[in-house]
Amino acid sequence: MSQFTDLVKSRRTRYAIGNNTDLSKEEIVARIREVAREVPTASNSQTTRLVVVFGEENARLWDHILDVQKDVLQGEMWDMMSGVMQGAKGAVGTVLFFEDLDAVAKMPAEGAREEAYKQNNNANSQYAIWLALTELGLGASLQHMNIGHEQGFDKSVLEMFNLPENYEMIAQMPFGSIEGDAFPKEYIEDEVRVQVIG
Ligand SMILES: Cc1cc2nc3c(=O)[nH]c(=O)nc-3n(C[C@H](O)[C@H](O)[C@H](O)COP(=O)(O)O)c2cc1C
């Protein structure tokens, strides 16, 4: 098995994350920058922007998300996800994934294709960064705690961190030391997932 395959296999959704790491903020940021730089984007449009939030600012971010989500999530979903959010708050940090809408508008694509390219550009970064954090020995999960650009949740986060108005938030990736097992995962058959012709 290659190192790459081992890495891919060890990446999991980790909700039990903490702040017990010897890695410095600088080391984490350097690795994220190194990896994000090489992520492919449609026509090399490089529309994705990552904002890495650490420490007290990370706690402030998740307090705000908890505050918004208490009016959105209910019942069992709130019980589970509020625990995930509390875990994120006490972890090392969070990578916020944005798309720069001015850069998106400059892509040689319109309508549904532009939307697909924007989402795909961002997803490529999300997965690459998830793998990079895994390689650093950190655990992470992928969250969509925003209720959407259109609904205006982004605006409060943009204001909180003085980010440009033309940033659309796509996802959040809280990360930290691994403090527990990942949930068991079911798989569909490999032959259904990957089919071979010829
Ligand atoms: C497009 C996408 C959206 C996701 N959104 C969420 C989310 O909002 N909250 C969450 O806890 N996990 C989210 N996940 C994580 C998946 O639930 C998880 O990757 C999947 O169950 C497989 O588990 P694994 O990551 O441990 O392999 C998302 C994953 C993807 C690819």
> Which domains can be identified in the chain, with CATH numbers?
3-193 (3.40.109.10)
Residue nearest to atom 6 of ligand 1 (CA): 143
How many other C-beta atoms lie within 10 A of the C-beta of residue 135?
16
Please list, residue by residue across 14-34, b when 16 or more beta carbons sit within 10 angstroms of its beta carbon and e when fewer do. bbbbeeebeeeeeebeebbee
- 142 CA distance to ligand 1 centroid (A)? 6
Which pLDDT score, from 0 to 100, does residue 151 have? Answer: 66
Could you identify the atom of ligand 1 that is nearest to the CA of residue 145?
8
Could you identify the atom of ligand 1 that is nearest to the CA of residue 144?
8
The predicted-structure confidence for 22-76, as pLDDT tens digits, reads as follows: 999 999 999 999 999 999 999 999 999 999 999 999 999 999 999 888 888 889 9
The residues lining ligand 1, judged by C-beta closer than 6 Å to any ligand atom, are 12-13, 141-144, 182, 185
- 81 CA distance to ligand 1 centroid (A)? 13
Could you identify the atom of ligand 1 that is nearest to the CA of residue 123?
1
Residue nearest to atom 27 of ligand 1 (CA): 12
Residue nearest to atom 23 of ligand 1 (CA): 13
Which pLDDT score, from 0 to 100, does residue 72 have? Answer: 81
- Report helix, strand or coil for 11: coil
Separation of first and last alpha carbons in the chain? 26
pLDDT (average), residues 179-185? 97
pLDDT (average), residues 84-89? 97
Tell me the pLDDT band of 159, cut-offs 50, 70 and 90: very high
Could you identify the atom of ligand 1 that is nearest to the CA of residue 15?
11
Residue nearest to atom 11 of ligand 1 (CA): 143
